[in-house]
Structure 1
Amino acid sequence: MVLGALITRASLPPWSLLAYGVLGPVLLWQAGRLLDRLWWRPRRLERALRAQGLRGTTYRFLLGDLTEFGRLNEEAWATPLPLGCHDIVPRVTPFIHRNVRQNGKPCCFSWFGPIPIVTVTDPAQVRDVLSNKLGHFEKPKFPALTKLLADGLTSHDGEKWVKHRRIMNPAFHLEKLKLILPAFSTCCEELVGRWTESLGAGGSGELDVWPEMQSLTGDIISRTAFGTSYLEGRRIFQLQTEQAELFIGAIQKIAIPGYMYLPTRKNRRMRKINSEVESILRGIIGKRIQAIADGQSSNDDLLGVLLESNLRRADESGKSSPGMTTEDVIEECKLFYFAGMETTSVLLTWTMVVLSMHPEWQDRAREEVLGMFGRNKPEYDGLNRLKTVTMILYEVLRLYPPAVVFSRKTYKEMEIGGIVYPAGVILELPVLFVHHDPDTWGSDVHEFRPERFAEGIAGASGDHGAFLPFGWGPRVCIGQNFALLEAKMALCAILGRFELELSPSYTHAPHTVMTLHPMHGAQIRLRPI
């Protein structure tokens, strides 16, 4: 056999021998890099963290804690919570809850595949990370996946983030929000009108308000983002909703090298959705740019303001440093849809559920709305004077924040709270956990008590930076005023027309699908006033 092998190798042409000699070392080098990434580097990082007193889980080859994360979710989500229970952390984020309980505050670590995740639960440290007080932190990058949902402002860093934020700021200025208020009102009036017709003369009826709130906020973002093209926008809303469902399943597997490039059924579907969304947006944007070039008004919708601001930026900067490309604008429009629709629909759904659980606060909010507006359409100044409604929305955002976790990543060695973190460590900032921490909010932390916000956000807890539903610092959500104004308008329309009561079929089962969803819907009984 040895002789045969020698004869065969001797008979190879010289170029084959050269390729054989080069390819072998290359393959060994690549194998070495992969072994370092998947085994030696995680082991080094784990030793470095433990040497500084941090406790956490032990690294498991390739998947880290992903299997355990999925198992705990499946176990926790199998059992609903009692009605009226707002202690949702063990059910919604069971892995974080167990890891912190076992390994302690203010920091402990776990593993996202071969990447260490440090869970930071101290509000002061969370605030320092989000404010870039200790230096710049990157957003964790999963480009093959992020591009399929929305590779916009929230995923950028550095100069690109600064440029996009400056261009987009005018679309969310106070004066622009006032101009789109009629669109909010129109969508809300259509919603309550449809509900009234569906109830008929018989009085009360039952409705799953979760898809209704998704439809409402999708309609609002379609009208306010694209104006007369909002029907095309509604198709984007439907596609982006499906894409978000697929996204959350894929992110659990993204730690597996090359997973997103596998031709699985779900991966193919995500690419098909992305292609259709981008095609629709390219058409809408192209027509709007041509209209602006022809001297027509850019309209007062978000897309028009964004394009106008972008063109001014390009003119000021000159050709050598233009504003956003068409591809950039497409990605920001995709983000309009996901962030604009998802956040407010989650907030409104949980607000209706919680007010149904606490009718005394529902009555107080209704009394304030009717006292402020009567049967008239709400206007901007009046919406800003709604103290009880604002307190309720803040308390719902505390107990049921749409985004339950924020993440940042060290790109170089950095010190936080006396711990030196090497480059490549993900910092997990568990918003839901911080919002439910009795050390910060007191022994009544799991109770619905809107009065804690009677003096505003600053006086609501023992730490004024512990309220983080929209983030903190320079990267605080650009659309937070848009979302709160939209939520207030919707609540005014609903509470002014209906009394809310939980249906016997409602199951209290919050869980995460990108944001905090009701697993089995939100069945509410509506009684016309």
Structure 2
Amino acid sequence: MENFFMAMKMVSSLIVVGILSWFFYVYVNEWYKSERIRRKLMKQGITGPPPSFLRGNLPDMQRIQAQVRSTMKAQSNNNSNKLLEHYDFTATLFPYFEHWRKQYGPLYTYSTGRKQHLYVNQPDLVREINSCNTLDIGKPARKSNQLAPLFGNGILSANGPSWAHQRKLLAPEFFMNKVKGMVELMVESVQPLLTKWEEQCIEAAEGYGNGIVEIQVDVDLGGFSADVISRVCFGHSYSKGKEIFSKIRTLKETLNNNGYLFGRSGFGVTKKSVITNLEKEIESLIWELVEERKASNSSKKDLMHSLLEAVKNDENIGEKFCKQFIVDNCKTIYMAGQETTAISASWCLLLLALNPQWQTRIRAEVAQYCPNGIVDVDSLSLLKTVTMVIQEALRLYSPGAFVTREAFEDIQIGNLHIPKGVNLWTLIPTMHRDTENWGPDACEFKPERFKDGVSKACKFPQSYAPFGLGGRLCVGKNLAMMELKIVLALIISKFNIIPSPSYKHSPAFSMVIQPEHGVHLFIQKI
């Protein structure tokens, strides 16, 4: 019997050793593939930080990040009540990218373990990526897999023919002629916010008050943007979709971790269970709304109607795929459409609070073209100052931090040969603050630089990418711009926006660039 147990123990040990040896072989083999790719890039004159065995440059990234966090913590303790007005945050959020850019220039290569990356912030190459229309380049597969619970295989994460087909179906829903028809609903959606702020100001003015009230504007703007998405895209009010938005936010916070940038993936058993449950709950809620829409037989021409028509009439989608197609794209629009617009509007109000002269200019423009306070399609096209302010705010605080691509086959970009498997990263905040492109005042808030449009605002217009680049340009760009123009025009025409000492300037990266502690501002009714 003793011999039997000894034999079983030996067999178990051999199995464990065999499994570990297999994993080690696979990992080392993958690492050597990455190393071969790195050498191909280096033969073209592309340098970068030397990688460590198996882990690549991950130790460097984590070390640099830890050093900056330690420094920032010390500064925060010394300046806890100081209103920070500097706008350049790239060196604190992405210090390794900035460190290497200063050392190796706007084009360099680095690795995260088994994956080789190419950092591209060179304007001519950014232009080439922008004009690259082959399906052999797309969203990085690893990133799409990490965010699959949030976006599934919707238009934001799909690649190849699937992405091309989805874009063909969805993009027309956000063409300008369609968005113009949504203006009235957007104006209706902002009224509750305006009424709420007016009532708070009136309450603050009672007695001996000065009528000034402190508001965390990003929270209320989030509600406004959610209502717009709910009404114009899915035919129901925010109150009906409130639970969906809440669960999507929870899912996003659960997914958010450094693995997005540091190349890590995978979750613990508990976290994975939470993610799976949230996925099922969100899918169930969305499908409940879909079934309600089907039962109502409504012919309302919105995004929901188009999705239902697509799965009904398009043989390429297929019956089994149709439910996931609808759910994934609804999740994408709920998440990407609502959050990015609300964050952008919050940054706009903060910058206007710090630069009150631009509030005065906006009020004068709104009074000239909207004399009765009525904002419509015709008057919106005349609000040039509002447009300039939005464009400048998106330059300084673009919600999107990166343009990321993966080469699924060997491809040619400009004079560079990009091997299959390379991930390309373009850091948007760095492009938007490049003094060679925007001038020595690149970190200053100067909306007048856009007075003649984006093409005349800088030397390389292709480097302005708040909505992404090229064929994968955000399909909701027109909707977002119209929404921002409406909410800013109406808010500034009715309220004076003043900086609050409660605001702590701390941009944070949580899949998008957002204010870590919210945007607290003083609001005063005019």
Length-normalised TM-score, structure 1: 0.88
In structure 1, runs of 5+ residues without a counterpart are none
Structure 1 position 36 matched with structure 2 position 18:
no
Q: 1:429 to 1:51 in 2, by over 3 A?
A: same
Q: CA deviation at 1:230?
A: 4.0
Q: 1:306 to 1:190 in 2, by over 3 A?
A: same
Aligned pair partner of 1:409 in 403, 406, 410: 406
Alignment correspondent of 1:103: 104
Alignment correspondent of 1:304: 305
CA distance in 2 between counterparts of 1:191 and 1:204 reads: 16
CA distance in 2 between counterparts of 1:348 and 1:524 reads: 13
Q: CA deviation at 1:322?
A: 7.0
Alignment correspondent of 1:278: 283
CA distance in 1 between counterparts of 2:320 and 2:491 reads: 41
Structure 1 position 58 matched with structure 2 position 63:
no
CA distance in 1 between counterparts of 2:190 and 2:255 reads: 29
Which moves more between the two structures, 228-237 or 113-122?
Answer: 228-237
1:359-378 residue pairs with structure 2 within 5 A? 359-378=356-375
Name the SS of the counterpart of 1:500 in structure 2: strand
Q: CA deviation at 1:527?
A: 0.8
1:420-435 residue pairs with structure 2 within 5 A? 420-435=417-432
CA distance in 2 between counterparts of 1:193 and 1:119 reads: 47
| Counterpart AA for 1:93 | F
Which moves more between the two structures, 499-508 or 408-417?
Answer: 408-417
Q: CA deviation at 1:76?
A: 6.3
8 Å CA contact 1:180–1:301 kept in 2: the answer is no
8 Å CA contact 1:355–1:500 kept in 2: the answer is yes
Structure 1 position 357 matched with structure 2 position 349:
no
Alignment correspondent of 2:323: 326
Q: CA deviation at 1:159?
A: 1.0
CA distance in 2 between counterparts of 1:371 and 1:98 reads: 48
Alignment correspondent of 2:198: 196
| Counterpart AA for 2:283 | E
CA distance in 1 between counterparts of 2:257 and 2:379 reads: 42
Structure 1 position 219 matched with structure 2 position 221:
no
Q: 1:438 to 1:76 in 2, by over 3 A?
A: farther
Q: CA deviation at 1:450?
A: 0.9
Name the SS of the counterpart of 1:325 in structure 2: helix
| Counterpart AA for 1:45 | I
Offset from partner CA, 1:145-174 (integer Å, 9 cap, x none): 222111210111111111111111232133
Which moves more between the two structures, 199-208 or 368-377?
Answer: 368-377
1:255-294 residue pairs with structure 2 within 5 A? 255-256=263-264, 259-260=266-267, 262-264=268-270, 266-291=271-296
Offset from partner CA, 1:415-435 (integer Å, 9 cap, x none): 334333322111001111111
8 Å CA contact 1:404–1:431 kept in 2: the answer is yes
Aligned pair partner of 1:511 in 508, 513, 516: 508
Q: 1:344 to 1:172 in 2, by over 3 A?
A: same
Q: CA deviation at 1:137?
A: 1.0
Offset from partner CA, 1:96-122 (integer Å, 9 cap, x none): 1111012212x0122233212211011
8 Å CA contact 2:407–2:418 kept in 1: the answer is yes
- Percent identical pairs in the alignment equals 27
Length-normalised TM-score, structure 2: 0.88
Alignment correspondent of 2:397: 400
CA distance in 1 between counterparts of 2:432 and 2:450 reads: 13
Alignment correspondent of 2:244: 236
8 Å CA contact 2:56–2:110 kept in 1: the answer is no
Alignment correspondent of 1:347: 344
| Counterpart AA for 1:130 | N
Name the SS of the counterpart of 1:228 in structure 2: coil
Name the SS of the counterpart of 2:190 in structure 1: helix
| Counterpart AA for 1:211 | V
CA distance in 2 between counterparts of 1:364 and 1:379 reads: 19
CA distance in 2 between counterparts of 1:133 and 1:228 reads: 36
Q: CA deviation at 1:71?
A: 2.0
